[in-house]
Structure 1
Amino acid sequence: MNKHLIFLLVIFTSVSFSQQKYFIFFRDKGINKNTYLSKSSSEYQTALSTLTEKAIGRRKKNLGDEIIRFEDLPLKDDYLNELENTGVQIIHKLNWFNCVSAFIPSEKVNLVKSLPFVEAVKPVKRISFKKDFLPETILKEKNFNFLTNSYGPSFTQLNLSDIPLVHSKGVDGRNVLVGLLDSGFDWKKHSSLSSRSVVAEYDFVFDDSVTANQDQDVPGQDSHGTLVFSIIGGFRDSILIGSSYGSSFLLAKTEYIATETHIEEDNYAAALIWMENLGVDITSSSLGYSEFDPGEDSYTYEDMNGKTTIVSKAVDLAFERGVVSFTSAGNEGNSKWKYITAPADAFSVIAVGSVDSQNRLANFSSVGPTYDGRIKPEVVAMGVSVYGALAGTTDEYRYANGTSTSSPIAAGVAALLLSKFPYLINTQVRSIILESSSNSQAPNNQIGYGLISAKSALEFPNIKNIDDSYILTKVIFDSTKNPNSVSLHLAEEGNAFNTHSFSTFKDDSYEFVLPHFPDNKRLEFYFTYQDSLGNLFRIPADKNYKMLYGSLNISLNLNSLFNNLDYTVSDIYPNPFLPNKHKVVRLNYRSAGNELFRLSIIDAAGRSIKEISQVSNVGENIIEWDGTNDDKIISSSGVYYFLVTINGKQFGKKLVLLK
């Protein structure tokens, strides 16, 4: 059965498009690769001009001053003009991929392929839409016996992840911009959505600014996106409250829903680029791509490696620019496929599976691992009988099932975290979400790191750097605590603990200025406090937090500092890498012994600047890089791709280097 997964029930009609859309990839951007980041160049200034002030601020927070990457530079106008002169109809300009999507007359395909600036011409894959597996339940406001709280029927789905508690502390997601990619949004008419802050919306299917149904849409087109939007952003007192209702939103219609649909990867990539340029902090999508229409090349499980699909690569490029991305794991748990679907296979995305109200895994929830062995999904949230708005009405609601309903709940938790701590960079947000979930000490390929919790995420300690001092923040929501009794107990790993008092305290948050240590020194710590009766509490109760001094990530299991994604090959740390400060970056990997290890470090222009190889020892191995190329010259600021090969199996990692 052909599959495009977008996980809530909609109504279908038959639509057929006769034209074939293609990706046209260019050989270059028509500029000298050695000078492409010159801030005085017109290309650099053009790339900068596409970013809003919010996007620039988010990039600076995550990347430092080197905020423009090679992928951001514009496509060469001469190439675009020549294509149009040959009769090509350009649809989307995807500068991140140095390509366009376009309709090419059949008799001109070979001509376009022969153009000297064209690297490749590949069909844009067209995807069948799959119905949800369970019928919806439609209910009107007046039919409910409301719960005795302001959340109404939405209380259960939020309370499972401790969201109402965080809301009660005044944290509602404000000052965070969330982007939703879906089938359409009938938000202006529905009472739970009409007052929400929508910064911008765009229809990438029909190229206009209306995401609700129009004449050219099939009935039910905007049903799915409307429900998803309400789960994260809705607000109707005593009826429906979203997980991050105080946030602002960007809405992208990327999917066209019909029996013989043309749901295309270029829409998704174009929407992510649009959102990133507008300054989005968090994105959430409730869709997945696996198998395709008859006559099209289908993706296979082997392609679920984070490196194949346009949508997965687009998510990782957005992450490089500071965006946190969530997506549904998929509803394939009961099918022959069973695995997660793209873009849930992306390296940096947080793929979200589904559990019921008792935190039991839903049998439809897709599982991992990725083809290259990474744990998926990352987290789970409630995805059975989730309550949300019904499109086409002003006051009707429904219950629905699917990982598309769990993804907006989880994305809302990240928005609450970023709202409380706006200084966090996206790698910290991702790490905290994973570390604070219920199964973080034993992640698996059914529930990943476990049930996501807003309370646990906000209470997990975090680090910020101010004027070369590291400040540790700990939230304690326990209302019975003696506020003056909170202490930090800190030690170099294996040494005695020293007790430190907090420097500031506000709204349940305690800040501690850390003593100075050598970079990458392993530290461990815990907190204590007393309640109003003098009872002593230790956090964590029976373990210690761990960190590498100079890194912004904290763990309950030091291995996860090396590896939030898998631990055959670790993440690179520290990341971002400042050569003058950190001296070296490290990568850990495990080996059975006598395996050939090869590392190729590749710059943004695709050139291999450094090759490292060795025969591996049994157990853990460590590789270091000082930032120099094979000519022993320090590398330029930018994004570098680490391609690791161990006995023929490949792993990809990315590093940001800032001089």
Structure 2
Amino acid sequence: MVFKKFSTVLAVAVAVVATFSNGVDSVSASSLPRVHAGVHRTLRAQGTVNLIVTMKEGTEKTLATVKEAAFSDRGQQIASMVDALEQSAKKSQGSVTSLLSQEAATSEPLFKTTTSFWVSNQVFIEGATFELIEKLAQVDSISEIREEIVVKLRKPVVSDAVASNFTTEAVGTAAIIAPTNPKWGVKMIQASDVWATGNLGQNVNVGIIDTGVRSTHVALKGNFLGDFGWYDPEKKAAAPYDPDGHGTHTTGTVAGGNGIGVAPGAKWLHCKGCRTDDCTESDLLACAQFMTCPTNPAGTKKDCSKAPRVINNSWAGDQGDTFFNAAVKTWVAADITPVFANGNSGSKCSTAESPGDVSDVITVGATDSTDTLADFSSRGPSIGGLLKPDISAPGVRVYSASWVDDSSYRYESGTSMAAPHVTGAIALLLSAKPTLTYTQVKSLLYTTADRSGLGATGQTCGGTSDSKFPNNQYGNGRLNILTAVKK
């Protein structure tokens, strides 16, 4: 009996020729949604499956329409865009939400929970049964039904705990003081030279999607955004926390005080898109929405004026995966710069990981203190032939905040540590030149990156050696934010 049921769904998914006698009117076979084979495999193994339901109507038309409109300020523009996306999602997802509402009202619902995402016009369904999938497969407004993607968190390649008791320096106060002991990566990209001009990233909000953050750390507590600065999709925790440490370290490199952060004058906000070992697609999409238009921790109030200008993403999934593309396009439409780690799958060519392997993001490789590309740093080109990484930055033995207590620090290595240098640098750039667009930010970073003195890898990836720029080892070169700010 079970085998017969799965055969029926498979016929809909692959041949798309069957209809079901479940009370739904028959529709054209060619208009039925595609059900991915992975859905059936998980159902066989577990009995239920977590689904991502993608609607045929995407977000492109809505984003294009809002982009053409005129607004008095950025917050108003983003609020209008979010409202348009919400209305579009509500309309196009109507058949799905109606079906789910009916099922939720029964004594034995065919799923556990559901969440609608306007950022990508998708619906997440937790614990869907075979019977629910059978019904969803008849909704012709759906494009595809697939299993939720779970990204395995790429842990730092090297991690060394240290205890530091140096004097805490003021940060994030009315009179922002430049740290006097910048760490090697901060100095390498000449961020400390930018500080000397009085620019510490003031008046710029920076976002981080990671494992959470220890917001009470002495290097971080002074410039936490506060209200609308924290969201935990999984537990809706009222206050920031970090059970892993990865997110505290990356946040420290972006905007921490005591010389560990590139932009200690910027305000940071954090969304806990990753758990201890992985990042679920539904959590990442929830964070994508939060970063587009921040909410309070409960998710009941929003303030789009608090949206960051740049978002750090020190996480990566499989190569050639497109699941986060719609979210990235929404960020770009809101003039938010997406920064991604290129991955730690080096040193072979074509090891760049998603979502960093797409064209709409700034992808970062890792260098060491001798300006040589790290062995672990993924190389390009992407599976689609794109040059990756776009730029490189310090990512070996990077000293930043530890989650253990409020005054500990640690060394970690990885492209996860390199990306925050670029994110913080963009905050410095936008503090100096607040009217820059996302496209202009990319151009300035790429054309001012250091290219001389970089260590040879001896590789020719994608037909380009590392002596010619841009290339698939260093990208456009190693980040130099002073040159970018002065240009």
For the pair 1:266 / 2:282, whether they are aligned, the reply is: yes
- Greater percentage in helix: 2
Q: How far apart, CA to CA, are the structure 1 residues paired with 2:441 and 2:100?
A: 42
Q: Is 1:333–1:339's contact at 8 Å kept on the other side of the alignment?
A: yes
Aligned counterpart, 2:263: 244
> Aligned letter for 2:288?
L
Q: CA deviation at 1:247?
A: 1.1
Measured against aligned partners, the alpha-carbon deviations of 1:226-266 in whole angstroms (never above 9, x if no partner) come to: 11111111113xxx3411111112211001124xx5x2223
Q: Which structure has the higher relative contact order (CA within 8 Å, separation 6+)?
A: 2
Q: Is 1:141–1:395's contact at 8 Å kept on the other side of the alignment?
A: yes
Q: Is 1:141–1:397's contact at 8 Å kept on the other side of the alignment?
A: no
Pair member with larger Rg: 1
> Aligned letter for 1:245?
P
Q: Is 1:186–1:391's contact at 8 Å kept on the other side of the alignment?
A: yes
For the pair 1:202 / 2:214, whether they are aligned, the reply is: no
Q: Is 2:308–2:336's contact at 8 Å kept on the other side of the alignment?
A: yes
Aligned counterpart, 1:126: 150
- TM-score by length of structure 1 reads 0.55
Q: CA deviation at 1:316?
A: 3.0
Residue 201 and residue 356 in structure 1: after superposition, are their counterparts in 2 closer, same or farther (change >3 A)? same
Residue 452 and residue 408 in structure 1: after superposition, are their counterparts in 2 closer, same or farther (change >3 A)? same
1:81 to 98, 101, 122: 98
2:75 to 44, 55, 62: 55
Aligned counterpart, 1:459: 486
> Aligned letter for 1:256?
R
1:375 to 374, 378, 387: 387
Q: How far apart, CA to CA, are the structure 2 residues paired with 1:18 and 1:160?
A: 53
Q: How far apart, CA to CA, are the structure 2 residues paired with 1:393 and 1:55?
A: 36
> Aligned letter for 2:202?
R
Aligned counterpart, 2:134: 110
Aligned counterpart, 1:355: 367
Residue 129 and residue 38 in structure 1: after superposition, are their counterparts in 2 closer, same or farther (change >3 A)? closer
Q: Is 1:244–1:413's contact at 8 Å kept on the other side of the alignment?
A: yes
> Aligned letter for 1:97?
S
**Unaligned 5+ residue runs, structure 1?**
1-16, 61-65, 214-219, 291-300, 461-659
> Aligned letter for 1:249?
W
Residue 371 and residue 364 in structure 1: after superposition, are their counterparts in 2 closer, same or farther (change >3 A)? same
Residue 430 and residue 68 in structure 1: after superposition, are their counterparts in 2 closer, same or farther (change >3 A)? farther
RMSD over aligned CA atoms reads 3.4
Q: How far apart, CA to CA, are the structure 2 residues paired with 1:233 and 1:350?
A: 18
Q: How far apart, CA to CA, are the structure 2 residues paired with 1:228 and 1:25?
A: 32
Measured against aligned partners, the alpha-carbon deviations of 1:372-412 in whole angstroms (never above 9, x if no partner) come to: 22211011111111111110301111111111111111111
For the pair 1:437 / 2:478, whether they are aligned, the reply is: no
Q: How far apart, CA to CA, are the structure 2 residues paired with 1:416 and 1:54?
A: 19
Q: Secondary structure at the match of 1:93?
A: strand
- TM-score by length of structure 2 reads 0.73
> Aligned letter for 1:246?
G
Residue 396 and residue 378 in structure 1: after superposition, are their counterparts in 2 closer, same or farther (change >3 A)? same
Q: How far apart, CA to CA, are the structure 1 residues paired with 2:132 and 2:447?
A: 53
Q: How far apart, CA to CA, are the structure 2 residues paired with 1:170 and 1:152?
A: 13
Q: Is 1:269–1:310's contact at 8 Å kept on the other side of the alignment?
A: no
> For 1:495-574, what aligned pairs fall within 5 Å after superposition?
none
Q: Secondary structure at the match of 2:192?
A: helix
Q: Percent identity of the aligned residues?
A: 23
Q: Is 2:119–2:326's contact at 8 Å kept on the other side of the alignment?
A: no
For the pair 1:21 / 2:50, whether they are aligned, the reply is: yes
Q: How far apart, CA to CA, are the structure 2 residues paired with 1:110 and 1:337?
A: 43
Residue 52 and residue 197 in structure 1: after superposition, are their counterparts in 2 closer, same or farther (change >3 A)? farther
Aligned counterpart, 2:355: 343
Q: CA deviation at 1:108?
A: 1.8
> Aligned letter for 2:123?
V
Q: Is 1:90–1:100's contact at 8 Å kept on the other side of the alignment?
A: no
Q: How far apart, CA to CA, are the structure 1 residues paired with 2:409 and 2:152?
A: 27
Residue 254 and residue 152 in structure 1: after superposition, are their counterparts in 2 closer, same or farther (change >3 A)? same
Q: Is 2:350–2:383's contact at 8 Å kept on the other side of the alignment?
A: no
Residue 19 and residue 105 in structure 1: after superposition, are their counterparts in 2 closer, same or farther (change >3 A)? closer
Q: How far apart, CA to CA, are the structure 2 residues paired with 1:287 and 1:67?
A: 25
Q: Is 2:159–2:411's contact at 8 Å kept on the other side of the alignment?
A: no
For the pair 1:235 / 2:257, whether they are aligned, the reply is: yes
Q: More displaced, 314-323 or 246-255?
A: 314-323
For the pair 1:416 / 2:416, whether they are aligned, the reply is: no
Q: CA deviation at 1:152?
A: 6.3
> Aligned letter for 1:121?
I
> Aligned letter for 2:248?
T
Residue 419 and residue 28 in structure 1: after superposition, are their counterparts in 2 closer, same or farther (change >3 A)? same
Q: Secondary structure at the match of 2:145?
A: strand
2:115 to 60, 82, 92: 92
Aligned counterpart, 1:275: 291
> Aligned letter for 1:229?
T
Count of aligned positions: 393
Q: How far apart, CA to CA, are the structure 1 residues paired with 2:252 and 2:86?
A: 34
Aligned counterpart, 1:191: 218
Q: CA deviation at 1:24?
A: 1.4
> Aligned letter for 1:274?
F
Q: Is 1:439–1:448's contact at 8 Å kept on the other side of the alignment?
A: no
2:413 to 401, 411, 424: 401
> Aligned letter for 1:393?
D
> Aligned letter for 1:98?
N
Q: CA deviation at 1:132?
A: 3.4
Q: CA deviation at 1:143?
A: 12
For the pair 1:179 / 2:192, whether they are aligned, the reply is: no
> Aligned letter for 1:82?
L
Q: Is 1:332–1:338's contact at 8 Å kept on the other side of the alignment?
A: no
For the pair 1:321 / 2:334, whether they are aligned, the reply is: yes
Q: How far apart, CA to CA, are the structure 2 residues paired with 1:285 and 1:316?
A: 15
Aligned counterpart, 2:300: none
Q: How far apart, CA to CA, are the structure 1 residues paired with 2:317 and 2:166?
A: 38
Q: How far apart, CA to CA, are the structure 2 residues paired with 1:97 and 1:436?
A: 34
> Aligned letter for 2:88?
L
Q: How far apart, CA to CA, are the structure 2 residues paired with 1:274 and 1:201?
A: 9
> Aligned letter for 2:49?
Q
For the pair 1:257 / 2:281, whether they are aligned, the reply is: no
Aligned counterpart, 2:6: none
Aligned counterpart, 2:473: 446
Q: Secondary structure at the match of 1:101?
A: strand
Residue 38 and residue 21 in structure 1: after superposition, are their counterparts in 2 closer, same or farther (change >3 A)? closer
Q: CA deviation at 1:317?
A: 3.0
Q: Is 2:367–2:394's contact at 8 Å kept on the other side of the alignment?
A: yes
Q: How far apart, CA to CA, are the structure 1 residues paired with 2:72 and 2:120?
A: 21
Residue 331 and residue 423 in structure 1: after superposition, are their counterparts in 2 closer, same or farther (change >3 A)? same
> Aligned letter for 2:274?
E
For the pair 1:333 / 2:308, whether they are aligned, the reply is: no
Q: Secondary structure at the match of 1:250?
A: strand
Q: Secondary structure at the match of 2:230?
A: strand
Q: How far apart, CA to CA, are the structure 2 residues paired with 1:137 and 1:257?
A: 18
Measured against aligned partners, the alpha-carbon deviations of 1:286-337 in whole angstroms (never above 9, x if no partner) come to: 01001xxxxxxxxxx4x2xxxx421244223311331111111111114x78
Q: Secondary structure at the match of 1:109?
A: helix
2:193 to 143, 156, 165: 165
Measured against aligned partners, the alpha-carbon deviations of 1:67-107 in whole angstroms (never above 9, x if no partner) come to: 98668733237432322322344443222322111112343
Q: How far apart, CA to CA, are the structure 2 residues paired with 1:339 and 1:71?
A: 36
Q: Secondary structure at the match of 1:107?
A: helix
Q: How far apart, CA to CA, are the structure 2 residues paired with 1:452 and 1:18?
A: 49
Q: More displaced, 435-444 or 357-366?
A: 435-444
Q: Is 1:153–1:387's contact at 8 Å kept on the other side of the alignment?
A: no
Q: Is 2:396–2:414's contact at 8 Å kept on the other side of the alignment?
A: yes
> Aligned letter for 2:219?
S
